Structures are given as C-alpha cells and as structure tokens.
Amino acid sequence: MTSLDDKVDLSVSPPDTGSVAMVLWQTALGIAILFVWQGVSGRFVDNFFISNPLEVGRRLLGWTIDGSIFMHLWATVYATVVGFAVGSVIGATLGIWLGVSIFTSRLLNPYLSALNALPKVALAPLFVLWFGLGIESKIALAAVLVLFLVFLNTFAGVRQVDQDLIDGARLMRATRMQVIIKVILPSTLSWLFAGLRVSVPYALIGAVLGEMIASNRGLGYLVQYSGAQFDTAGVFAVLIVIALLAMLLNFVVDLVQNRMERWRIVSR
C-alpha cells in the first residue's frame, strides 16, 4: 500500500509553477526535448523505435480531424468515471458497514486480506467472461481497483472515530442509524476523501488495462492496436493523450478537494 501511495503522490504533486520565469524555463525544456528527439530520431536511433515528434504530431492531427480519437477518449473517460463512481460507492458503503459491525469485519478479515493482496488486474479475464467485451468489463476493472482503496481508507476512518463522541450521542438518545449518519460518517469524511483522491488514477489504470486486454475502442485499445501494427508514432500519440487525460483528472481532483477543504476535520 505505502509504496503504491508514494508513487501516486509523486505523479500527483504539481510542478513548481510559482513564477513566470519557471513556466518559461519549463516550456523551454519541453521544446528542447522535442528538438533533441527530432534530431536524434533517424540519425542516432532508428525511427522505428522512437518515431519522431513531427510524425506523432501528424498522427494526433489526423485522429483529431477524422474524430476517431474522441470516440476512444470518450470510451476511456466513461469507463474511468463510471468505474470510479461504482467503486467508491461500494467501497465506502462496505467500509462503513464493516467498520461499525465488529463481528462481520472479524469474520471476513482473512478473505478481505486475500482479496486485497490479489493483483486486481488478474481479475480481468473473469470480468470479460461476466460482462463481455463491451465497456462493462472495463468499468468493473476500474471499479474493483477503486473499491479496495476506498474501502480500506473508509474502514480505517470508521475505526478512528472517537468512542466518546459515539457514547455522547447515544446518551443524547441517538438511534444506531443516527450515530452512523451524524457522528461516524462526518468524522470519517476526511479519510473517505483521502481514499477517493488516491484512487482516481487507479480508475484510469483499470479502464486502460481493461481496454488493452480485450476491447475494440478506448485509449487502451488504441495503444495496443498501434503497437501491434508496429506504429511507434501511434503509440507515442496515445501515450500523450493518456498523460494529458491523467493530468486533467488530477486537476479536477485538486479542484474538488479545495472546495471540500472546509469539511476537513481540524484537530482540536
């Protein structure tokens, strides 16, 4: 878990764009890389392996003009977003349910550990069998990746709830449901958000992997297809689109998190 989180954090942390000068430097670096790439390609390294920026650009332009990239992009975004939503709802619900019922959580503990240790990607063939080659199997893969992260965070959060607050509410005649909704849920919220935030990139990973395994559309399919055609420029072009999409998702998460900041529980 920790190592995964670390990786996520690295990819998420925004570049230092504090000053205009830094932005200029960053742009300059990007352009320099493109020039070097273009210069090296065909001269020192075979074009077959690294293609070149002009060709990649041409590929992107072509896909944009004929509109095919949007179809693939939409398929991936759809699977990511729906998978994220399904996974977080199930994960949060499970986390709260198991968090409050000690017996059930103890009962299920070994099975949940086993499932959590399982590389979720290995479930992909099963999802293809269950949900077919369509978008549903990609949603399922994205959802299952998200589910465990959100579940673990929510569960830990519920376990951290101050027992005195729960006892206090019970003394004030709160029903069990009221305790869950008005005490446990709000104090778990920051944990839940942390889980949601970490799992967004995993939803994208699930969707893309699902598309790579068996599909006829989506960015994962496109990168797989381009590779199979020995179309290096195509592979690079899709990678750029995926990277942009991932950055966009992170941006959205940051935006949402900033708005949610006031809900964060400030320690007393």
Partner 1 sequence: MIQIRHVYKNFRRGDSVVEALRDFDLTIKQGEIVAVIGPSGCGKSTLLNMIAGLYNPSKGRVIYKGSPITDVNTDVGYMTQKDNLLPWRNVRDNIAFPLELAGVAKAEREARADAAIKQVGIDGFETRFPNELSGGMRKRACLARMMLYGAHTALLDEPFAALDAQLKLAMHDLLLRLAADNGQTVVFVTHDLMEAVTLADRVIVCTRRPAMIALEQEIPLSRPRDVLNVRFTNEFKDLYDALWERLRLEYQEDRV
The piece of 94-102, 161-169, 240-248, 251-259 that touches partner 1 (CB under 8 A) is: 161-169
Which residue of 110, 114, 173, 176 would you call a contact of partner 1, by CB under 8 A? 173
CB of 229 to partner 1, least distance (A): 55
The piece of 46-54, 109-117, 127-135, 259-267 that touches partner 1 (CB under 8 A) is: 259-267
CB 136 within 8 A of CB 205: no
Cα–Cα separations (whole angstroms), residue 161 to 165, 181, 189, 197: 8, 13, 11, 20
**What whole-number distance in Å separates Cα of residue 202 and Cα of residue 142?**
7
Cα–Cα separations (whole angstroms), residue 243 to 167, 207, 250: 48, 14, 11
CB 78 within 8 A of CB 135: yes
**What whole-number distance in Å separates Cα of residue 147 and Cα of residue 89?**
8
CB of 175 to partner 1, least distance (A): 8
Site for partner 1 in 177-196 (CB under 8 A): 178, 182-183, 186-187, 189
**What whole-number distance in Å separates Cα of residue 179 and Cα of residue 133?**
43
Size of the site for partner 1 (CB under 8 A): 23
Residue placing its CB nearer to partner 1 in the complex, 58 or 264: 264
219-228 and 185-213 helices cross at what angle (nearest 10)?
A: 30
Q: Is there binding between residue 169 and partner 1 (CB under 8 A)?
A: yes
| Structure tokens that stand for 4 in this block | 């995964």
Residue placing its CB nearer to partner 1 in the complex, 130 or 263: 263
Which residue of 164, 258, 259, 261 would you call a contact of partner 1, by CB under 8 A? 164
**What whole-number distance in Å separates Cα of residue 185 and Cα of residue 175?**
14
The piece of 27-35, 126-134, 164-172, 200-208 that touches partner 1 (CB under 8 A) is: 164-172
Site for partner 1 in 218-247 (CB under 8 A): none
Residues in touch with partner 1 (CB under 8 A): 162, 164-165, 167-175, 178, 182-183, 186-187, 189, 263, 265-268
